[in-house]
A and B are shown apart, each in its own frame.
Chain A
Amino acid sequence: MGDVFNQELLAASVRLATPLLLAALGGLVAWRAGVINLAMEGFMLIGALSAALGTMWLGDSPWLGLLASVAVSVVTAALLGLAMVYVGADQTVTGIAFNIFALGITSFTATLISRGSGGSGIQAPLVKNVSLPVLSDLPVVGDALFNQSPLTYFAILLAFALAIMLYRTGMGVTLRAAGEHARAADTAGIVVNRIRFWAFVFSCVCAGLAGAFLSIGYVGAFITNISQGRGYIAIAIIILGQWRPLGTLAAAAVFGLAQALAVRWTGDTLPIPNEAIQALPYVLALVVVALVGKAKGPAEEGRHYQRAA
């Protein structure tokens, strides 16, 4: 049993937690503003494909790939945000349908393009890991924690930045007000739907980057359905993290560890089946939902706001 719990496991957990954390942090911002973004799964796919294509077509530079992923996510999110926030299309229906659409259009595009390139698939060079000086030389955890993808560092910094933004700045108050009591926020001069729109776009960009991490930070190629439900996992992580950035960071670590254990736990060396380990975080999230119920979530979640009552 001892050989499973080692540095490798720690490093793998961090790697696997990265896309989950990125998506969850974005989703958290949208949720706090009053929009439940169920479309994150779809944006992960779109971000993953555009990052791989961007890298491939823009001179094998993964950084330009990331830029492409952000650009495509922003444009797509703006369209969807228009429909969901301003027109008020049902967030659940639109979000889920968008995921089906995204799965279809990314597989379609990837099939066409890889066929054009002689069936070699859509391969792209990886964003290189950055080893942080001094820290990566720490014993035991050094190499596992501080020799990671730049996106991993970005995600962790983002968690702290959002913690400060949400609770220590006027912008955070505005954002939370839009999600807790839209009418009151409106009366106080906050343009609720504009806040929600940008929060939604932000969450889609984060999900897109999470997808980009999968394709050009982890796998090294785009493959069909590369996200494998991670956009939905992000929802569970936000809940487990109690709609708070640092809580979300911790919850993402839990899911990352569970996934890493499952990957490395293929033999029958341990007494618990790896599926049980993987299912455990979801059960925890369900218990959290059952215990706190509605109490902790933003009051206006999922509701369309319209002025002039």
Chain B
Amino acid sequence: MNAITQDPEIGAGGRSGMTGERVKGLAGKLTPVWAILLAFLVGAIPIAAAGVNPIDAYSTVIRGALGGPYELSVTVRFMIPLCLAGLAVAIPYRCGLFNIGAEGQLALGAVAALAVSLYVPAPPGLHVLLCLLAAGVAGALWGAVPGALLAFRHANEVITTIMLNFVALFALQYLVRVPWRSGEGLFPVSKDVPESARLAELGTTGNWHLGLFVALAAVAVAWVLVYRTRFGFSLKIMGHGLRAAHNVGISVKKMFILSMSVGGLFAGLAGSTELLGVQYNLSPLFNPGYGFDAIGIAILSRGNPLLVLVFAFVFGGLRAGVTLMQRVEGVPAAIGQVLIALPVIFLAVDAARQQYSRRRLRNG
């Protein structure tokens, strides 16, 4: 195992553990749906400690997420960036890479989209497309950096993406604080995206906007990429082992860079839809941690783009629902993060447990 991960020709020296093991390693017996239900069960403890009946609290969450057209629109409004960022983690995950950098790629995507919206004049329809394009390219380039560092310098992508997140965030903070700042408020906020570059609102009530179709199209593209192309097949083989992938002629190094770039592209789009469809300006608080929720979504969906959409909807609903729960029941909305994190931990532990007993069996 050491010989394979250290093989300079394959270039996975910086990997923590073997990639194949990692992807297979997270497929235990516990299904994601059970993991989520178990998390809700455990989450009932702090809710009860807050003096609220967990059943009341959870039914308010569901009402806040799905209770009507407005509630649904809030769920979908959160689902869009979560889904795109989820794809950004899911694609590299299929070949065993962890893209912890969705946060940074998302930030730079938003930065690029805002730059184009402010400085590249174009007619309405085209303007949006240009912004989305710029965001995708920016995210892809930022994703290519850890891919290349892994391929050529054996640098663990988990570590490099964490650092690149900080660099991207500081870049965003500077742009918002100085050149693109609007007004003299204490808290820096950027200028607004001009009307011509906004993703059109859909309908008259709620938060519906055209970004929904960007997310759906991205899921479709990702599905085709993963299941119907040579790229997707290479990802899968790499997920089963780098040695095997190398032996059948896959350029592992190229795939490291490519998969991280494709991931970054989706994350960049996540930033741009949030900017062009919802917030219309940037601030240091632009992103409430979509890139981290995305890691959970990718793990729950095991890299399947359709399931990414499903779990992004679930997590989006959770984000929408806990707000109502806080208002109506007085349970702090922060419980939402607990409910997002717990199923991921359960799945990771269960998968390892399964593997452990399988090995025990094999080794007698």
Contacts and interface: CB of A to CB of B under 8 A. Distances in A.
A279 to B, nearest CB: 4
Interface stretch (B69-77, B119-127, B212-220, B291-299): B291-299
Contacts of B13: 293-294
Contacts of B363: 308-309
B172 to A, nearest CB: 9
A97 B158 contact: no
Given A93-B26, A94-B348, A303-B16, A101 B166 contact: no
Interface in A49-108: 83, 87-94, 96-101, 103-108
Contact of A97 (B14, B336, B344, B355): B344
B46 A105 contact: yes
Interface in A96-141: 96-101, 103-109, 111-112
Interface string B229-273: 000000000000000000000000000000000000000000000
Given A294-B154, A303-B17, A304-B17, A100 B166 contact: no
Interface string B159-185: 110111111001101100110000000
Interface stretch (A9-17, A164-172, A193-201, A231-239): A231-239
B163 A290 contact: no
A83 B337 CA distance: 20
A92 B158 contact: yes
Contacts of B165: 232
Interface string A237-281: 001000000000000000000000000000000000101101100
A276 B172 CA distance: 11
A306 interface: yes
Q: A interface, how many residues as a size bin?
A: 35 or more
Interface in B179-211: none
Interface string B15-41: 011000010011000000000000000
Residue in A38, A104, A239, A275 whose Cβ sees the most chain B Cβ within 10 Å: A104
Given A90-B352, A98-B341, A104 B154 contact: no
Given A89-B351, A100-B296, A294-B155, A108 B170 contact: no
B253 to A, nearest CB: 14
A302 B344 contact: no
A173 to B, nearest CB: 21
Contact of B352 (A104, A301, A304): A304
Contacts of B160: 286, 289
Nearest to A107: B334
Contacts of B58: none
Contacts of B46: 105, 108-109
A235 B334 contact: no
A285 interface: yes
A276 B170 CA distance: 7
A10 to B, nearest CB: 23
A283 B167 contact: yes
A235 B338 contact: no
Nearest to A105: B338
Contacts of A293: 13-14, 153-155
Given A89-B351, A96-B100, A98-B345, A235 B337 contact: no
Nearest to B176: A275
B345 A101 contact: yes
A264 to B, nearest CB: 16
Residue in B14, B174, B337, B353 whose Cβ sees the most chain A Cβ within 10 Å: B337
Contacts of A93: 26, 98, 295, 299, 344, 348
A218 interface: no
A153 interface: no
A108 B349 contact: no
B289 to A, nearest CB: 8
Given A104-B338, A108-B338, A293-B153, A96 B295 contact: yes
A155 interface: no
Contacts of B67: none
B167 A83 contact: no
7 contacts: A90-B348, A92-B16, A97-B344, A100-B293, A106-B334, A289-B163, A302-B16
Contacts of A291: 153
A103 B25 contact: no
Q: Which 10 A-B pairs have the closest CB atoms?
A: A302-B16, A104-B337, A101-B341, A107-B334, A275-B174, A100-B341, A111-B332, A97-B344, A104-B338, A279-B170
Given A282-B167, A285-B163, A301-B16, A89 B352 contact: yes
Contact of B292 (A96, A109, A275, A303): A96
Contact of A90 (B22, B335, B338): B22
B356 interface: yes
Nearest to B344: A97
Nearest to B174: A275
B359 interface: yes
A290 B160 CA distance: 9
B267 to A, nearest CB: 16
Given A91-B16, A289-B155, A229 B334 contact: no
